[in-house]
Amino acid sequence: MIRTVFHYGVILPGLAMILSSCILAYNYQAEILFPAQIDVSPDVENVGVFCRMDLGPNPSGYFSGNEWEKSFKSDSALLKQAILGLEDGLIESPRYSVIETITKRNLPGFLPQPSKNLNWKFLRNIYPDSTGLLIELATASFSDTVIDLNTNDNIVENYYCILSTFFWRLYNFNAKEISLYRIQDTTIIEFRNRGNNFRLQDTRHLLRLMNSASYNAGISFASGIAPTWKEINRIYYKSSIPIFHPAEKLVVEGDWKGAAEEWLPFTKSNNKIIASRASFNMAVAAEMTDHFALAIEWLEKSKELGQKRYVDEYTADLLDRISQKAKLDLQFGELEQ
């Protein structure tokens, strides 16, 4: 480290103008964990998923026109996609362990009445004792509509919309609480059709869209009750000068601590452009290692050295990350409410 500082101390004065003009902003994508929108008691670890509705040939919704009726008599595939989406979303999250439930189909000998809760004794008899939370697909429905925009004598711009509504019920065994939630979404197909008559010829394409809507409904609810990995974009500064390359290589490898060690000497440069951008990079490195307060300190130093672009926006992002981290700690049981 001493050798590195001396090395930069000798080179920076002679190259100050060149270096500062060659340090440019680049985008970096990272995955971070966002807290769930719905708080579930942190003592819940094992989660099971099942479907309340019959997975047989029962209508799951109504589509306008007799030509649709036959195509949408079977709801089996649609409900299965919703369950798969929910399980995939929960498995991706580090919050829960998804257990294999005894049945994902309609409960044996039970007449589905989605508006009514199942009793605890009944559920405990058919699901493992380790289950802390059961998630039930209570009911689902679909509808369709067509919106015509920019109509003239020759062309009608048709926007075909699939409206999907899913109701999910949570049975929290530990807290003995039952909650019901609704997820509603719209899938839109845009195309142009001559004349005023609308008809979607490819029914298979429509079914694929509905399956996708069902799967996404499961994914969406998973992100509602479980912390979820999402991509964020961050700006950091790179240079074409070789002495900056070791830090940039470490960033590519995900070694932000090592990159910070490389950038640190540049924060002491007599050239304020170099020092301010190196300080900005130190803030990014601090965030990527979950040191948010330190990241804000480095941003303040960067601003004091003259950095104007991105600083205020990034400070707001970091304050939001601090709030998110507090929620995550509560949801993982690392902090008391």
What pLDDT shows up at residue 67?
Answer: 45
Residues 222 and 88: beta-carbon distance below 8 Å: yes
pTM: 0.75
Buried b (16+ CB within 10 A) or exposed e, 305-326: bebeebbeebbebbeebeebbe
Residue 297's pLDDT is what? 97
Query: Which run of H or E residues covers position 293?
Result: helix 292-304
Indicate the SS3 state at residue 228: strand
What are the tens digits of pLDDT across the range 2-22?
Answer: 222 223 333 344 444 445 556
Q: Measured between alpha carbons, how far is 302 from 100 in angstroms, rounded to an integer?
A: 52
The span from the CA of 202 to the CA of 197, in Å, is 16
- The CB density around residue 243, as the number of other CB atoms within 10 Å, is 16
Q: How far is CA 333 from CA 154, 319, 323, in A?
A: 62, 21, 16
In this predicted structure, what is the pLDDT of residue 69?
47
Q: What pLDDT was estimated at residue 47? A: 94
Per-10-residue mean pLDDT, the chain, length 337: 27 45 82 92 91 53 46 60 92 92 55 75 80 88 70 61 86 92 76 48 67 88 94 89 84 94 93 92 95 96 93 95 94 74
Identity of the amino acid at 37:
Q
* Confidence (pLDDT) at 243: 76
pLDDT at residue 81 in the model: 87
Residue 231, token pair as written in the block: 């991509």
Does residue 276 contact residue 25 with C-beta atoms inside 8 Å?
Answer: no
Q: For the segment 299-324, what is each residue's pLDDT rounded down to a tens digit?
A: 999 999 999 989 999 999 999 999 99
In this prediction, residue 299 carries a pLDDT of: 96
